[in-house]
Amino acid sequence: EMFMTQSPATLSASPGERATLSCRASQRISSKLAWFQQKPGQAPRLLIYGASTRATDVPARFSGSGSGTEFTLTISSLQSEDFAVYYCQHYNNWPLTFGGGTKVEIK
Amino acid sequence: EVQLMESGGGLVQPGGSLRLSCAASGFTFNNFGMNWVRQAPGKGLEWVSYITESGTGIYYADSVKGRFSISRDNGKNSLYLQMNSLRAEDTAVYYCARDGAPGATTFDYWGQGTLVTVSS
């Protein structure tokens, strides 16, 4: 089973700041990685797939990068609506697995 | 507009059974693989099961293999999850999610979820 490790567990930042979230896979997964955003009481929302392709209607301030085992989600300038929990997910093989999440909170 | 609506959750005793349903609308259901993903209270996301467009290909997480069964009825635009031998650790919000991102086995649309509580 592929293990996905996200860091940091919590990121404290102010609106307007840049946020960098990391995700590491236990084995090489090429670019088969997605990122999700989840707000309290809501279903997750797909942000990025293929490590760097933004999903429909996702603002350009969200960008993904990386391949192999190391991946990054960058939010270039945090907006109030971006404070949430973010998950990475691999789809290199079965079973699909998620990272433990990074909570982005207001500093 | 793509919509997914889960139903069938509730309180069940350990060892009991429950059947979840997901009604899909706003897209051609039989063109997409479908998933169940769950989230225990206050915890992260866990993929549970996947079924291909035709229903001929099925995968499960090890944690539910042999106890849960995924199925679909393309004529009714519906996805199902039969859950047997339920355990306390199966307590979670269960989401159905479409596998729709191009070239990626991931979840592009989600329902709002249905809560399953396993407790005596």
Contacts with B27 from chain A: Cβ below 8 Å: none
Minimum distance, in Å, between the CA of residue A9 and any CA atom of chain B = 12
Q: Which pLDDT value is given to residue B71?
A: 98
Contact B107/A at CB under 8 A: yes
One-letter amino acid identity for A74? T
Q: In sequence order, which residues have a C-beta less than 8 Å from that of residue A40 and are 6 or more positions away?
A: none
- Report how far apart, in Å, the C-alpha atoms of B60 and of each of A31, B44, B68 are: 23, 18, 8
The closest alpha carbon to A19, from A30, A3, A8, A5, belongs to: A8
- Going by pLDDT thresholds of 50, 70 and 90, the confidence category of residue B104 is confident
Nearest CA in chain B to A101: B44
Element (H, E) at B94: strand B92-99
Minimum distance, in Å, between the CA of residue B73 and any CA atom of chain A = 24
Contact B27/A at CB under 8 A: no
Q: Would you call B104 and A32 a contact, using CB atoms and an 8 Å cutoff?
A: yes
**A65 CB burial (10 A radius; 0-12, 13-18, 19+):** middle
Q: Which pLDDT value is given to residue B103?
A: 84
Contact A9/B at CB under 8 A: no
Q: Would you call B61 and A95 a contact, using CB atoms and an 8 Å cutoff?
A: yes
Strands A10-13 and A102-106: parallel
Question: Mutate which of B107, B108, B109, B115 to disrupt the A interface (most A C-beta within 10 Å)?
Answer: B107
Distance between terminal CA atoms of chain B?
40
Q: Which pLDDT value is given to residue A72?
A: 98
The residue-averaged pLDDT of B110-118 equals 98
The residue-averaged pLDDT of A79-101 equals 96
Phi, psi dihedrals of residue A42, rounded to the nearest 5°? -120, 160
CA angle B47, B60, A24 (to 5 degrees): 45
- What is the percent of chain A where pLDDT is above 90? 98
Contact A55/B at CB under 8 A: yes
Each residue's pLDDT tens digit, B25-61:
999 999 999 999 999 999 999 999 999 999 999 999 9
Each residue's pLDDT tens digit, A7-66:
999 999 999 999 999 999 999 999 999 999 999 999 999 999 999 999 999 999 999 999
Contacts with A42 from chain B: Cβ below 8 Å: 112
Q: In the predicted model, is pLDDT for residue B101 greater than 90?
A: no
Contact A97/B at CB under 8 A: yes
- Going by pLDDT thresholds of 50, 70 and 90, the confidence category of residue B105 is confident
Q: Would you call B44 and A100 a contact, using CB atoms and an 8 Å cutoff?
A: yes
Structure tokens at B105: 């086995």
Q: Would you call A1 and B62 a contact, using CB atoms and an 8 Å cutoff?
A: yes
Q: Would you call A91 and B104 a contact, using CB atoms and an 8 Å cutoff?
A: yes
Q: Which pLDDT value is given to residue B102?
A: 84
In this predicted structure, which of A87-101, B45-59, B97-111 has the lowest mean pLDDT?
A: B97-111
